[in-house]
A and B are shown apart, each in its own frame.
Chain A
Amino acid sequence: MTQPSEPMATADILGALVGALAGGRIRVIDLTQTLTPEFPQIALPPEMGQCWPFRIEQVSRYDERGPSWYWNNFSCGEHTGTHFDAPNHWISGRDLPNNAVDTIAVQNFVAPACVIDCSQQALANPDYLLTVADIEAYEAAHGRIPQGAWVLMRTDWSKRQDPEAYQNFDETGQHTPGPSAEAVRFLIDQRAVLGFGSEAIGTDAGQGFHLRPPYPCHYYMHGAGRYGLQCLCNLDLLPPAGAVLICPPLKIENGSGSPLRVLALVGAVA
């Protein structure tokens, strides 16, 4: 019998992982929305600079423009679709070292994830703000959030397939759930999380501009050198604890974020 104190050889760990993936004991879940021209982008007041939506134009499709091949050109912003936010995205993180997608240590792109289920609260209240009490209730049920973990707020918002319902605008702006300023501070100060992820268009709530400070998740998380993930989906397929996220953004020089594929490794359903 192996001594508990004796670490597994790394080759064995990777071999076991590959075996578990091949055998289906560890499954890969896609947490990414498909990039389509119809997927909504963040909307700012029209006098401000705007993030480009995803756009795609055919170069050729086995036709006179290229007889044997099919390919497209596409354009989008760094914050289009399911995307990663780097600390330099926000003014609070602008002077931090390694604050851009190309300089963030790559180890951070593979990390555990804790999924806090707020789907019932968000169903009742689109403006729902994750509280410290929600985090404490989560920990009472599923254990303490480990240092360096992603905290993902499950709201089932991604199930809103209709862009109008997903954006949820009225004359006072957008109404989507997000974290309270206190919850963000708690996750940074008390739990040293790696970052915060959400299903809605931003890590902050739709009405986050009216919180103190405005957009607290962006302001505090990026100010503390932490990251953001937004427009995630399939969070309902993840266990509350124990999933591992693989989420490397594109290596854009001094980029503030990037669309990316977010994958989760999870154990087989018990």
Chain B
Amino acid sequence: MTMPLMRPARKNPMLRTRQLNLPPAARGRVALGITAAAAEGRFELQACEDCGAVQYPPREACHKCLSPRLRWQQQGGDGVLLSSTTLHHSNDMYFRERLPWRLGLVHLDAGPTLMVHLHGDVPDAVDPPVRLRVGARLDRTGQAVLIGFPTEGGAAMADDKMLREMTSDPKFRKVLVTDGKTAVGQAIVTSLVRAGADIVWVGHAEPWKKTADMQALSALPQVTLVPLDLTNGRSVVELAGAIGGKVDIVINNAEVHRTFGIAARRGIDVAKAEMDINYFGLLRLAQEFGPALRGRSADGEVGATAWVNLLSIYALSNFPPHGTFSASKSAAYSLAQCLRAEMRPAGIRVINVFPGPIDDEWNQHVPPPKVGEGALASAIVKALRDGVEDVYPGDVAQEWLERWRANPKVLERELAAGGS
């Protein structure tokens, strides 16, 4: 059984902070299909539409009947361990620093045989045969890797040394949540505390606007309120100067949400305020905190690991009644892709969260289902633990995502007609 992760000792400031060597990242275009599914937490392989064969590795045509009609199909991942081995030597710098490392050869019930990283709870023995479940995760390069999980994991399964390389568990980590004023922000903070975060810094813009909830939050021993106003470049610079070197996870949940299209409100002041937080706020934050995170991505067992953006499902396709908000989230989404590309060489994961309408005062007129702050906070913590990149919490987000994937033009027309 995996031993639970113990609180790591304080780092020795006399020693150089370790830098990250990345595992091999090259994948062909076809193989990126596994990555695309893993980014959302699914394990998919190619299945032939003609003969039904499931294949691995991904190819341009079916390995059995040569048909090019392949589609990505979600896999349960159940299979048998054929053999396992423990590496004590590697010429690859990433693995060399993390030896010993276990690998296994697995025969999936669905057909293919594949090589996986083995979770510590999977036994070596192959007699009697060991059943296991293969799943896909993203490694430090953001590329999919396959992992052999035990069919029944222990309580500390997430603390497996190999698995922690693929995830961003908040346990013992130091997290910045950029806005503690909203119910969502407060739920994120309490979820992080429950998940074992060491310190949660909570941004507090315009401190003269006090709320009782905020005061209650600051009573938690892990929580420290910090002045942070994403519209004020200097505020971001000063906070990054003060805590940037210690933050392991940034959760940017600060947003302005107003409910206007183009014609419903005169002037652009509201749209500008939305852009100033939702888009420029992310840019300011990324310029100041990005370098600090990149420099500490291999800093011990609980080094810098992830950056979470609270976007919106409206980022995918404009919801005209909330038109300017949608546009600002779309801009933020685009910038978050840039951030992801720039953080990837350092092994920092950028997680984009696309909730459906949140159950807050600005969605008062939006009929249910709406995402509660607790569900949204849980989805964020789960995304960190599972190491996924894109999360769509809530029924509305799931449904819109499906419709957007099916046909973005159709969804655009439907949203213009009122959404349903």
Contacts and interface: CB of A to CB of B under 8 A. Distances in A.
Contact of B208 (A37, A47, A56, A163): A163
Interface string B231-249: 1111100000000000000
A209 interface: no
A37 B269 CA distance: 18
Contacts of B235: 37-38
B207 interface: yes
B209 A43 contact: yes
A169 B234 contact: no
Interface string B197-214: 000000000111110000
A55 B231 contact: yes
A167 interface: yes
A166 B208 contact: yes
Nearest to A37: B232
B103 interface: no
A164 interface: yes
A125 interface: no
Interface in B233-281: 233-235, 258, 267, 269-270, 273
Contacts of A166: 208
Nearest to A168: B208
A239 interface: no
A57 interface: yes
Contacts of B232: 37-38, 53, 55
Interface string A35-61: 001101001000101100101110000
A142 B229 CA distance: 46
A40 B233 contact: no
A53 B273 CA distance: 11
Given A37-B232, A37-B235, A56-B234, A169 B208 contact: yes
Contact of B234 (A37, A49, A50, A170): A37
A76 to B, nearest CB: 12
> Which secondary structure dominates chain B's binding surface?
loop
Nearest to B256: A46
Interface string A42-84: 0100010110010111000000000000000000000000000
A38 B210 CA distance: 16
Contacts, number: 38
Contacts of A55: 231-233
Interface in A141-187: 163-164, 166-170
Contacts of B209: 43, 169
A169 B273 contact: no
Nearest to B276: A55
A38 B269 CA distance: 20
Given A37-B235, A56-B234, A50 B273 contact: yes
Contacts of A49: 267, 269-270
Contacts of B207: 163-164
Contacts of B267: 49
Contacts of B208: 40, 43, 163-164, 166-169
Contacts of A40: 206, 208
A164 B208 CA distance: 4
B234 A43 contact: no
Contacts of A50: 269, 273
A100 B269 CA distance: 22
A37 B233 CA distance: 9
Contact of B206 (A43, A56, A57, A168): A43
A144 to B, nearest CB: 39
Contacts of B206: 40, 43
Contacts of A168: 208
Contacts of B258: 47
A213 to B, nearest CB: 26
A40 B232 CA distance: 12
Contacts of B229: 37
A47 B264 CA distance: 13
A57 B210 contact: no
Contacts of A57: 233
Contacts of B233: 37, 55-57
Contacts of A169: 208-210
Contacts of B231: 53, 55
A169 B211 CA distance: 10
A157 to B, nearest CB: 14
A163 B210 CA distance: 12
Nearest to B233: A57
B143 to A, nearest CB: 35
A150 B361 CA distance: 43
Interface in B169-227: 206-210
Contacts of A37: 229, 232-235
Interface in B299-343: none
Nearest to A163: B208
B287 to A, nearest CB: 12
A255 to B, nearest CB: 16
A34 to B, nearest CB: 13
Nearest to B212: A171
Contacts of B234: 37, 56
B248 to A, nearest CB: 28
A209 to B, nearest CB: 17
A56 B232 CA distance: 8
Interface centre among B206, B229, B231, B273 (most CB of A within 10 A): B206
B274 to A, nearest CB: 12
A104 B232 CA distance: 34
A226 to B, nearest CB: 28
A38 to B, nearest CB: 8
Nearest to B211: A171
A166 B206 CA distance: 12
B363 to A, nearest CB: 14
A40 B207 CA distance: 10
Given A43-B206, A50-B273, A53-B231, 12 more contacts: A37-B234, A37-B235, A38-B232, A40-B208, A43-B209, A47-B258, A49-B269, A55-B231, A56-B233, A164-B207, A168-B208, A169-B208
The 5 closest A-B pairs by CB, nearest first: A167-B208, A37-B232, A164-B208, A164-B207, A169-B208
5 contacts: A43-B209, A56-B234, A57-B233, A164-B207, A164-B208
